[in-house]
Amino acid sequence: MISLLKVQQNLIAGETYSYPAICILLSEDKKKGTNAKEAQFKIWRQYFKFEILKGEGGKILVTYIYKRLQPKKTDFRNNGNHSIYVSYIELLIADKFSKCDAWKIESTKRNLYKELGMINGMNYEKKAPIKEATNQDVDIFFNRTNQRLASILQSSLKFLKRKGCLSFKEVIFVVQVGEKSNVNRRAFPKEVKAINKIKRALLDEYGMKDERYVYLKFKSKEFYAKLNRIIYDKLGFDWSYKCYELIYLPKQLKTKVSKIEISTIKEALKLSDEDRNTNMYALNTRIMEAINRDAEKKYNNYRLNLEKHIKTVAIGYMPYRGFVLKDNFVKIQKQLADYYLKI
């Protein structure tokens, strides 16, 4: 069976191979018939670029070997122009569906981030984990990354929803701590309405239009601690939290299918351990690059605003009233990305 490691070890870019030779080198079965071969070639193109040489007995010229597994081009993993992150998220979510008893996944945002390889799962620490970093550096880092990760995941899920691959929505769970055990369940509609009403009132109290401003103003810890206290006082729940509910909508399930057919559908969605790890690493690398670019952009904008302020002060001294960033801001933010995100 083909794998990225086998391709990298056995094929050389620029070399020409016969079809049977590649099958042997990659432990692939030789296919008979045009359709079967085309289906196999579609999979191969995830691992390397190649050309079929006309007039040379169908020999194959390998032109490039990918460092990362490329996304499949199937109905579930649509081939349109969309975010670079979506391609990996499509594959990894499809793989998660292949392991479900039903066609539904319920997961917190953070757990989904971890399972897709978007973060490494390190928990937030009150004390800065990097020697040069301050608590303010950590707060800025989480403010930036929380918004960025949420945007990437949300836009990817919306893309899959538009293509009819899945449906998704955010649902609220509530927790009651008991002496012997805790109750952790999905909130009833009336409870959801009450929780949202409390949250809206608290946002108004803070003068915030929506929850994005909680993070933009670095009020997340204070705001959600107060929210949970009010929810406990009024509704009796120790805290509430949001989950994503994802439901897979393959075309094959629009009609009744047998257990064998369902098993076949799931097998087609399943990734090998190596391919799963490769896609998780690729997605994580892309996200790390984006997060670090954001840090550089934030610092560059800060310097521009500071220089603009200095130039516009004509008489006397007027202190800069914006957010002050240290000269090593980008370096520290990249170190924090390595600590909290890199897998």
Domain boundaries, the chain: 4-65, 71-165+249-343
Tell me which of 3-17, 79-93, 197-211 is least confident.
79-93
pLDDT in tens, 329-343: 999 999 999 999 999
- Give the integer Cα–Cα distance in Å for 164 and 77: 11
CA 86 from centroid of its chain's CA atoms: 8
Determine the pLDDT at residue 139. Answer: 85
Contact 329, 295 (CB under 8 A): yes
pLDDT in tens, 210-227: 887 887 777 888 999 999
Residue 337 is classified by DSSP as H
Res. 81 pLDDT band, cuts 50 70 90: very low
CA angle 37, 39, 43 (to 5 degrees): 110
pLDDT over 70 (residue 248): yes
- Give the integer Cα–Cα distance in Å for 172 and 195: 9
For tokens 């952790």, the residue is 184
Average pLDDT score over the chain:
84
Contact 291, 148 (CB under 8 A): yes
- Give the integer Cα–Cα distance in Å for 228 and 237: 8
- Give the integer Cα–Cα distance in Å for 15 and 11: 8
pLDDT in tens, 37-75: 888 998 899 899 888 887 777 889 888 888 888 876 544
Provide the 3-class DSSP secondary structure of residue 293.
helix
The closest alpha carbon to 141, from 342, 285, 292, 343, belongs to 292
Contact 152, 118 (CB under 8 A): yes
Determine the pLDDT at residue 35. Answer: 84
Contact 25, 10 (CB under 8 A): yes
Tell me which of 29-38, 94-103, 218-227, 300-309 is least confident.
300-309
Count, in order, helices (H) and strands (E) of the chain: 12, 7
Q: CA of 50: how far to CAs of 61, 153, 236, 259, in Å?
A: 5, 32, 63, 38
- Give the integer Cα–Cα distance in Å for 65 and 60: 13
Tokens representing 187?
A: 């909130």
For tokens 């569906």, the residue is 97
- pTM of the full structure: 0.69
Determine the pLDDT at residue 127. Answer: 66
Res. 325 pLDDT band, cuts 50 70 90: confident
Q: CA of 281: how far to CAs of 151, 154, 260, in Å?
A: 19, 20, 32
End-to-end CA distance of the chain, in Å?
Answer: 26
